[in-house]
Amino acid sequence: MRVKKFLELVAHKGKLDCGDTEKSEVWLSNFDDSYITRVGMESNVKFLADREITEELTHGVGFSPKDNKWYGWSHRAIYGFTVGSTCKKGDCHYRATNEQDEIEDATRFWSDKNHINVRAEKIKDGEIAVSWEYDNSTPNKKLRGTTSGTDWQYDHKNFGKGEWTAKTMEDAKKMAQDFSEGVS
């Protein structure tokens, strides 16, 4: 589907404060008035038009009758989910089931060939401190052998399902929502 036809079907023009000196002209979803793209940057949503994501289109989630899939996306990635789709540890849409699972997920996320001795621990509700050492093969030579870290934020009142399989289209929608949040 052509982008112009797609936008005329799923969105309307409006004004939104995008941090500029004045409100920007944008395309807003007909479903919930959420932001889709700026006027003049329509080519940025070609990936939505190509998949014909025309139902319940929001900022980051929508349904494609053509593919019979719920899609989740951000500027980084897009993925479609349907009945039978799975969620495993390490997937972008994986949501930990409890605090210990969240700590393990943070450790897994940061563990790779350049981050060694990765450690994660709860420092307060909703926050984990993650630290690691850079190994000697880290491309940035100045980082080799140094220690670094970050805070890992999570919603301690709203854990996910962990590993699971979508049994209904509502489940597929939830996976798409989790994916959108995970890649944002």
Q: Report CA dihedral (33, 24, 70, 6) to the nearest 10 degrees.
A: 90
Average pLDDT, the chain: 94
**Rounded CA separation 130/148 (Å):** 9
- The answer to whether residue 129 sits within a structural domain is yes
Q: Is the dihedral of CA 79, 44, 32, 56 positive or negative?
A: negative
**Structural domain of residue 113, as residue ranges?**
99-153
Across the range 149-155, mean pLDDT stands at 90
**Tokens in use for 99?**
């605090």
State how many domains the chain has.
Answer: 3
Q: What are phi and psi of 16, to 5 degrees?
A: -150, 140
The string of pLDDT tens digits covering residues 23-60 is: 889 999 999 999 999 999 999 999 999 999 999 999 99
pLDDT (0 to 100) of residue 155: 87
Regarding whether 168 and 135 lie in a shared domain, the answer is no
- The answer to whether residue 93 sits within a structural domain is no
Regarding whether 105 and 16 lie in a shared domain, the answer is no
3-state secondary structure the chain: CCHHHHHHHHEEEEEECCCCCCCEEEEEECCCCCEEEECCCHHHHHHHHHHCCCECCCCCEEEECCCCEEEEECCCCEEEECCCCEECCCCCCCCCCCHHHHHHHHHHHHCCCCEEEEEEEEEECCEEEEEEEECCCCCCHHHCCCEEEEEEECCCCCCCCCCEECCCHHHHHHHHHHHHHHHC
Global pTM value: 0.88
Regarding whether 116 and 79 lie in a shared domain, the answer is no
pLDDT (0 to 100) of residue 20: 72
Regarding whether 54 and 67 lie in a shared domain, the answer is no
- The answer to whether residue 91 sits within a structural domain is no
Q: Which amino acid is at 51?
A: R
pLDDT (0 to 100) of residue 21: 72
pLDDT (0 to 100) of residue 28: 97
| Confidence check: pLDDT of 148 > 90 | yes
Regarding whether 26 and 114 lie in a shared domain, the answer is no
Regarding whether 40 and 26 lie in a shared domain, the answer is yes
pLDDT (0 to 100) of residue 78: 97
- Which pLDDT band holds residue 177 (cuts at 50, 70, 90)? very high
| Confidence check: pLDDT of 111 > 80 | yes
- The answer to whether residue 92 sits within a structural domain is no
Regarding whether 65 and 45 lie in a shared domain, the answer is no
Regarding whether 169 and 79 lie in a shared domain, the answer is yes
Regarding whether 103 and 143 lie in a shared domain, the answer is yes
**Tokens in use for 44?**
């940025």
The string of pLDDT tens digits covering residues 56-106 is: 999 999 999 999 999 999 999 999 999 999 999 999 999 999 999 999 999
pLDDT (0 to 100) of residue 74: 94
